[in-house]
């Protein structure tokens, strides 16, 4: 499609384009003129966006059936959204990561914050995993794959179709190998002195959570000489970092047997297997059981999934975070440390902190807040989009 052939979509008169001009990347369905022509656009169509005075605002990817009906791709309405455009975005993203990290293990593209709305790319050496969570990116996946191979020099590119946003965009859930081949076994990834096993084809998300890297490191500084508990541990995120930091022992709790097996393999490769144990089961039940058993730890970390992934779930989510704090606080020794995390963008820092403090208080404990952590710099924040700053980690001394 040549540039003159691009369709045009228009904001409603009541819509205010100021936020878009200041960098907000989304247009909601109730802000756009959705006539028959717009409804008939194929999901992912690149279109010109006009305000209600017919002034061009830029190029957007349009998904007529989605609540987020337009995603801003380029403020220049004459740009060409093609392989060269994608390569320029990837080059800019790569320059940042290579400056920040000595080894090629990081989030290479963090969606809107890297100028590729809805696109997640995690890199594991010469293998990359793409989550194209927006229809425009799904349509341009062949070009994105080629550009990624050329810019980053990766040999293997996998598509992960497990992103929650894909269903909202009307996309399938079929994973695929886009280039090269999928690794036959989980890949070892070194971070904070620990070894993590990343299952790129059968694990959660893209195989590993890079976002907690700085928070793993901070918690590891508190772990020396401590008995440590890691709840919702996945593949041992905080536990293995704590072992690398000198913890006397670490116990990982998770509902997934396969994730705990990967954690055990990581501990083995670190030479820390004798200091590491796992316990499979529901996190809330296990926290209660550990309290009944009289267990106490110098460092307790709880890093649950998103209890409040969207605003309708906010109140229930905050109650769940409060419960986590209430059940985990009694397990912390006097003068010990409690790390509570949230990856719910709907629960802002103030609300999450309040829920945690209520839970700690209900447990009869008092707390000092030592540190507030966020996602690592390979997960940059788009200031105009609060949702891109989803991760919070609160470090308390009880």
Stronger pLDDT, 163 or 263, i.e. the higher one: 263
Q: Pick the catalytic residue: 70, 302, 341, 343? A: 343
Cβ contacts of 315 within 8 Å, gap of 6 or more = none
pLDDT tens, 376-394? 999 999 999 988 889 999 9
Angle at 315 between CA 327 and CA 71, to 5 degrees: 120
Query: In the chain, which segments carry CATH 3.30.750.80?
Result: 83-179
Which tokens in the block code for residue 379? Answer: 């997960």
Predicted local confidence at residue 2, as pLDDT: 42
Query: Is 3-74 in CATH node 2.30.130.10?
Result: yes
Model pTM score: 0.94
149 pLDDT more than 90: yes
pLDDT of amino acid 178: 98
Tell which wins on pLDDT, 79 or 311.
Answer: 79
Please give the mean pLDDT across all residues of the chain. 95
Whether residue 260 has pLDDT greater than 90 = yes
Domain with CATH 2.30.130.10 in the chain: 3-74
What is the CATH architecture of 83-179?
2-Layer Sandwich (3.30)
Report, as an integer, the average pLDDT of 56-80. Answer: 96
How many whole angstroms separate alpha carbon 77 and alpha carbon 73? 10
Spatial separation of the C-alpha atoms in residues 386 and 306, rounded to whole Å: 16
Nearest C-alpha neighbor of 385 from the set 169, 192, 117, 177: 117
Name the band, by pLDDT with cuts 50, 70 and 90, for residue 147: very high
pLDDT in tens, 197-206: 999 998 777 8
Whether 70 is catalytic is: no
The superfamily (CATH) of domain 188-397 is Vaccinia Virus protein VP39 (3.40.50.150)
- Local structure of residue 42 (DSSP, 8 states): P
Question: What integer is the mean pLDDT of 58-71?
Answer: 96
């Amino acid at each position: 499609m040549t540039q003159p052939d691009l369709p045009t979509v228009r904001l409603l008169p009541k819509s205010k384009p100021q936020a878009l001009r200041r960098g907000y990347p989304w247009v909601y369905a109730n802000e756009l003129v959705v006539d028959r022509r717009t409804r008939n656009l194929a999901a992912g169509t690149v279109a010109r966006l006009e305000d209600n005075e017919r002034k061009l605002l830029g190029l957007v990817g349009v998904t007529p059936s989605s609540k987020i009906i337009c995603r801003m791709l380029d403020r220049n309405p004459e740009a060409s959204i093609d392989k060269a455009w994608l390569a320029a975005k990837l080059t800019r993203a790569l320059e940042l990561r290579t400056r920040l990290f000595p080894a090629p293990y990081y989030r290479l593209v963090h969606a809107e914050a890297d100028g590729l709305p809805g696109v997640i790319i995690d890199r594991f050496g010469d293998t990359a995993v793409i989550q194209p969570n927006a229809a425009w990116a799904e349509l341009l996946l062949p070009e994105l794959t080629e550009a990624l191979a050329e810019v980053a020099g990766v040999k293997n590119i996998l598509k992960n179709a497990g992103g929650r946003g894909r269903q909202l965009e009307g996309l399938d859930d079929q994973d695929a190998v886009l280039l090269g081949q999928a690794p036959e076994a989980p890949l070892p990834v070194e971070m904070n002195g620990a070894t993590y096993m990343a299952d790129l084809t059968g694990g959660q998300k893209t195989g590993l959570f890079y976002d907690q890297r700085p928070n793993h490191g901070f918690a590891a500084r508190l772990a020396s000489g401590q008995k440590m508990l890691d709840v919702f541990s996945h593949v041992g995120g905080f536990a293995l970092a704590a072992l690398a930091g000198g913890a006397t022992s670490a116990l990982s709790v998770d509902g997934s047997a396969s994730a705990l097996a990967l954690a055990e393999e990581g501990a083995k490769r670190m030479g820390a297997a004798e200091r590491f144990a796992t316990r499979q089961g529901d996190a809330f039940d296990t926290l209660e059981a550990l309290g009944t058993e009289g267990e106490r730890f110098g460092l307790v970390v709880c890093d649950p999934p998103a209890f409040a992934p969207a605003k309708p779930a906010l109140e229930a989510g905050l109650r769940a975070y409060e419960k986590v704090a209430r059940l985990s606080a009694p397990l912390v020794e006097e003068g010990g440390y409690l790390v509570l995390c949230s990856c719910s963008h709907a629960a802002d820092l103030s609300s999450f902190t309040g829920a945690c403090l209520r839970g700690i208080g209900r447990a009869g404990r008092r707390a000092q807040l030592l540190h507030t952590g966020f996602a690592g710099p390979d997960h940059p924040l788009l200031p105009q989009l609060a949702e891109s700053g989803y991760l919070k980690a609160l470090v308390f001394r009880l």
